[in-house]
Structure 1
Amino acid sequence: MSAKDDRHQALLAALQRQQTMGVAELARVLDVTEMTVRRDLEVLEQDGLIERFHGGARLTPRASFEPPFVLRERMNASQKRAVAAAAAGLVRDGETVVLDGGSTGLALAAELSTRRVTICPLSLRVAWAFERSTSVTLLLPPGVARPGELSLTGSETIDYLGRHHFDRYLLTASGFTIAEGFTEWNAEDAAVKRAALASAATCVAAVDAGKFGRLAFADVCAIDKPDCVVTSDDLPGGALSALQQATQSVHLAS
């Protein structure tokens, strides 16, 4: 990423932590001038990611509580790439793999695009990421593409997954906690993820540490259901030992 992209990501992360911040405070956190912050806020507002007010900004509120895809794609980008590389490394050539959507799903697609595997993508965005791949075989499930997100949902997708037996499911999630397990903002997405989990012999959960402790709307599975949880190495204090006790296996990606 460019220096500007890095700065935008840091700015969005700061707003995510504190919800609302002033220009002067953002300038101190980012170690840049207030003029630079104002220019960055203007760009991010045009992208629909933040709302500016006199002297500061806040993240754009969403009635559904699901952050927009373009925002999620920019948040914790380096951690997602590290998690994707580690999770993809657990996939063996020749396997049939159900691959989740979302921004982490795209990062996983980038890692798998040169591998000799069969991929069943649960998102049109992820499917398109394999456009130039000459080694991946794509199995496109039927279903309804959810507006904006472009994840595949509905009874046809669930039925399709139930009629196939995959080697591995690469699960992504909006949040994960010890008590509540893996959760999703959208109930239809969660239903498809549960069907994918039932259709696969093994499951690897690929979730960056920024999602730890976050509880989304709909349950996907318990914390100990995946065979392995791959997460980034910036977990908050005490979280690693708690995950190691609660899960089958934890792999830290750096």
Structure 2
Amino acid sequence: MSKLLIPAQRRERIQEYLTLHKIVRTVDLCEMLDASEATVRRDLEWLEQEGILEKTHGGAFLSQRMNIEPEYRQRAQSNPEQKRQIGAMAASLIETGDIVFINSGTTTTQVIHQIRDDPEISIFTNNFNAAHEMGEPGFHHFSIGGEYQPRSKSLAGRFAMENLKHVYANKAIIGVDGISLKYGCTVPSNGEAEVVRQMIERTTGDIIIVADHSKWGVVSNFQIATIDEVDVLITDEAIDKAAFKLLEAHSVKIKIAKAN
């Protein structure tokens, strides 16, 4: 009988279920394991302490670690159409007269490519790849400078940080490698994290996160913002419905980018 399972066996089954389904309700675990709610809660607490999952009200979801920064080319091959759609929606939020911070990444490259021609728009970015690909922009484009980071095709370091001290933006559009209720928005590189945190500190308006559905539940090495610091999340239609509700409960406005 499943009620004879020892704690290690119950926890293994919980991990197996989460690996397959990504999210689970406590009530379903109670039935699956033939265990009391108190027992299941203790198992979830233990697994959360191990960094395997994050507890939510009434359940838990899988916590996925990203310890090594992927190569830019590798990241670009992941969900390219969703990133294009997200980029288009984010670009549409940029208005005449805006000064916008945009960081590095494959999704934010899509944002920059789709900004309309408007000489009254100013973009400040450490996204070296977008600058390299875009040609002659129809808006004011400012590279913040800094040391080139080949793995992410970005700019970071002391020069980038110093240049940001002279600018205030009214919007920030930020790409992340992970977004999690407990750990917030995270990236794998400390250099990128330092730049983005300064962008956020010097933004007077909305902090807009652009992230496809695969970033939900992923936790990387360096936090750039808590969930409560995020104003808007632009994502795609495959975002988990439970994630949608959890983020809305933290006053995050969610925009779903759809195919044209």
TM over 0.5: yes
1:212 counterpart (210, 216, 224) = 216
CA contact (8 A) 1:162 1:198 kept: no
Larger radius of gyration: 2
**Structure 2 counterpart of 1:121:** 125
Cα deviation for residue 71 of structure 1 reads 1.2
| Deviations 1:197-224 (CA, angstroms, capped at 9, x unpaired) | 1111122111111100000111101012
1:98 counterpart (98, 101, 106) = 101
What is the correspondence of 1:223-234 to structure 2 with a 5 Å cutoff?
A: 223-234=227-238
Bigger share in strand: 2
Cα deviation for residue 184 of structure 1 reads 0.2
Cα deviation for residue 113 of structure 1 reads 5.1
CA contact (8 A) 1:174 1:214 kept: yes
What is the correspondence of 1:22-171 to structure 2 with a 5 Å cutoff?
A: 65-112=68-115, 114-116=117-119, 117-133=121-137, 135-171=138-174
Cα distance in 2 for partners of 1:91, 1:182 equals 22
CA contact (8 A) 2:176 2:185 kept: yes
Cα deviation for residue 109 of structure 1 reads 1.2
**Superposition misfits of 4+ residues, deviation over 2 angstroms:** 113-116
Cα deviation for residue 242 of structure 1 reads 0.9
Cα deviation for residue 128 of structure 1 reads 2.1
**Structure 1 counterpart of 2:244:** 240
Cα distance in 1 for partners of 2:118, 2:78 equals 27
Cα distance in 2 for partners of 1:74, 1:148 equals 15
CA contact (8 A) 1:184 1:218 kept: yes
**Structure 2 counterpart of 1:222:** 226
Cα deviation for residue 252 of structure 1 reads 1.4
Cα deviation for residue 120 of structure 1 reads 1.0
CA contact (8 A) 2:164 2:198 kept: yes
**Which residue identity lines up with residue 221 of structure 1 in the other structure?**
A
Cα deviation for residue 64 of structure 1 reads 6.0
Q: TM-score, normalised by structure 1?
A: 0.71
Can you give the 5+ residue segments of structure 1 that lack an aligned partner in the other structure?
Answer: 1-16, 19-62
- Aligned-residue RMSD, C-alpha: 1.9
Cα deviation for residue 179 of structure 1 reads 0.9
Cα deviation for residue 176 of structure 1 reads 0.3
**Structure 1 counterpart of 2:200:** 197
Query: What SS class does the counterpart of residue 139 from structure 1 fall into?
Result: strand
Cα distance in 2 for partners of 1:150, 1:78 equals 20
**Structure 2 counterpart of 1:6:** none
Cα distance in 1 for partners of 2:100, 2:134 equals 14
Cα deviation for residue 229 of structure 1 reads 1.2
